[in-house]
């Protein structure tokens, strides 16, 4: 039976990426060696890194004056690296979920943190509006897509201070005006590559202004100067990321991907709103295109386990909601085909006709 992969991360990747990575594990670039055992200094792998950086810049239309880095440590390490590198006294954060809270915690190690607004009062089911960003903040940090709760900031904010964004789960899902950001970063395991590599887009001129000593591995300048090769990079995930970037380009680029994502999301949200058994958990204006969260309507709560088993029997995996929200979560990342969403919608309709 065909599996429909709705896992939130690690998550579905393009078949193109999986097949090419599998081949490279056996024989990388005709070397007779596996990508798992090749030197990161070899000309073949250096070419992988160079092309990955180049395609990153091309697909996102990254302007001059920015560097693209591939590093280890996950987005969680970036929570500390960012204030270490660019926070002198004070930063501002928007609290929209669990990962934003973790980023705030790390920033507080380095100085004052102004949480300008929070949606925790309603279990993060909306994006706060109407807040004021302090003009004396060294930067303002947002999490653009909240994987657990299913909210998303889908516009590039005009910000009076340097803007920093965690785009772990929505990078490459829509066009981004990179010029509005000082740093964009994210773990790759949700829309780009297997777990193990973290991408960072950093505006070069915001660096080098700290009085503090920054440890070598936590200094962005180190990785810029050594072109992500100061230490051994996560070679396999970088190779897989390159395959996904090629796949994105071959399939019309980011604008085309956004249109497909809108179609998938509309299909599922329309069914959630129509079906009497289900209800969405997020304010409609803040709904994510990447992580679609919903629960059983209150009067049908006892059917939750039944629907989970029904969907699982039809080949759906990863559809269970996060424990802090409950219900269901369908992660509709770039690589998820529309067919999988159609199968889910059909299952919802069938279950309604049986139980409603």
Nearest 5°: the CA angle 188, 227, 16 is 40
CA distance 302 to 356: 12
Per-residue pLDDT tens over the stretch 32-66: 999 999 999 999 999 999 999 999 999 999 999 99
**Residue 140, strand partner residues:** 92, 163
Q: Residue 1: which pLDDT band, with cuts at 50, 70 and 90?
A: confident
22 and 125 within one domain: yes
Other CB atoms within 10 A of residue 326 CB: 15
114 and 44 within one domain: yes
228 and 101 within one domain: yes
Q: Which of 219, 235, 250 is the last residue of a domain?
A: 250
Pairing of strands 183-187, 291-296: unpaired
* Mean pLDDT of all residues belonging to the chain: 97
Q: Which of 235, 250, 265 is the last residue of a domain?
A: 250
207 and 313 within one domain: no
Q: Residue 201: which pLDDT band, with cuts at 50, 70 and 90?
A: very high
Residues constituting the chain: 356
pLDDT at 2: 85
217 and 84 within one domain: yes
Per-residue pLDDT tens over the stretch 231-251: 999 999 999 999 999 999 999
pLDDT at 346: 98
165 and 69 within one domain: yes
Identify the residue whose tokens are 């919608």. 345
Per-residue pLDDT tens over the stretch 85-138: 999 999 999 999 999 999 999 999 999 999 999 999 999 999 999 999 999 999
CA distance 202 to 143: 16
Please give the sequence-ordered ranges of beta strands (E in DSSP) within the chain, or none if there are none.
4-5, 66-71, 90-95, 112-118, 140-143, 145-146, 151-152, 163-166, 183-187, 198-203, 278-280, 291-296, 316-317, 328-331
The yes-or-no verdict on residue 356 having pLDDT over 80 is no
| Positions marked active-site | 99, 166, 190
The conformational region for residue 63 under phi > 0 = left, psi -120 to 50 = alpha, else beta, is beta
The yes-or-no verdict on residue 230 having pLDDT over 90 is yes
Segment 143-169 mean pLDDT? 98
Pick from 156, 153, 334, 336: nearest CA to 245: 334
156 and 43 within one domain: yes
Residues 6+ apart with CB under 8 A from 270: none
Rg from Cα positions in the chain: 21
Per-residue pLDDT tens over the stretch 310-332: 999 999 999 999 998 999 999 99
316 and 223 within one domain: no
Report the number of distinct structural domains present in the chain.
Answer: 2
CA distance 169 to 143: 9
CA distance 42 to 238: 14
SS3 per-residue string spanning 158-169: CCCCCEEEECCC
Per-residue pLDDT tens over the stretch 170-181: 999 999 999 999
228 and 351 within one domain: no
pLDDT at 210: 96
Per-residue pLDDT tens over the stretch 259-313: 999 999 999 999 999 999 999 999 999 999 999 999 999 999 999 999 999 999 9
Q: Which of 250, 277, 293 is the last residue of a domain?
A: 250
264 and 239 within one domain: no
Extract the tokens encoding 225: 């100067």
Per-residue pLDDT tens over the stretch 69-81: 999 999 999 999 9
307 and 203 within one domain: no
**What CATH number is attached to the domain comprising 340?**
3.90.1150.10
Pick from 319, 288, 305: nearest CA to 351: 305
Range of the domain at 325: 4-10+254-355
Q: What is the pTM of this model?
A: 0.98
112 and 159 within one domain: yes
**What CATH number is attached to the domain comprising 242?**
3.40.640.10
């Amino acid at each position: 039976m065909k599996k429909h992969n709705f896992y939130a991360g690690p998550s579905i990747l393009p078949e193109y990426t999986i097949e090419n990575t599998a081949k490279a594990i056996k024989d990388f670039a005709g070397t007779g060696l596996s990508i798992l055992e090749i030197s990161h200094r070899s000309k073949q792998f250096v070419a992988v890194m160079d092309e990955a950086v180049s395609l990153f810049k091309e697909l996102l239309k990254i302007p001059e004056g920015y560097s693209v880095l591939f590093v280890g440590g996950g987005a969680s390490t970036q929570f500390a690296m960012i204030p270490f590198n660019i926070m002198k006294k004070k930063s501002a954060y928007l609290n929209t979920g669990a990962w934003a809270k973790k980023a705030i915690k790390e920033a507080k190690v380095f100085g004052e943190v102004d949480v300008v607004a929070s949606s925790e009062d309603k279990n993060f089911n909306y994006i706060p509006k109407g807040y004021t960003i302090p003009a004396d903040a060294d930067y303002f940090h947002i999490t653009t897509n909240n994987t657990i709760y299913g909210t998303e900031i889908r516009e590039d904010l005009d910000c009076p201070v340097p803007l920093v964004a965690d785009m772990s789960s929505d990078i490459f899902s829509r066009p981004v005006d990179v010029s509005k950001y000082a740093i964009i970063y994210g773990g790759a395991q949700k829309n780009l590559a297997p777990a193990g590599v973290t991408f960072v887009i950093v505006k070069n001129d915001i660096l080098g202004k700290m009085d503090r000593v920054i440890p070598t591995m936590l200094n962005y300048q180190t990785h810029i100067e050594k072109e992500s090769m100061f230490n051994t990079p996560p070679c396999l995930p970088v190779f897989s990321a390159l395959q996904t970037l090629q796949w994105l380009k071959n399939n019309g680029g980011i604008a085309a991907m956004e249109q497909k994502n809108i179609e998938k999301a509309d299909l599922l949200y329309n069914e959630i709103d129509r079906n009497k058994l289900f209800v969405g958990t997020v304010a409609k204006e803040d709904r994510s295109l990447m992580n679609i969260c919903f629960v059983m309507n209150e009067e049908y709560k006892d059917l939750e386990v039944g629907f989970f088993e029904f969907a699982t029997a039809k080949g759906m995996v990863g559809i269970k909601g996060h424990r802090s929200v409950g219900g269901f979560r369908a992660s509709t990342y770039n690589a998820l085909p529309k067919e999988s969403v159609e199968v889910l919608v059909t299952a919802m309709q069938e279950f309604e006709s049986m139980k409603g």
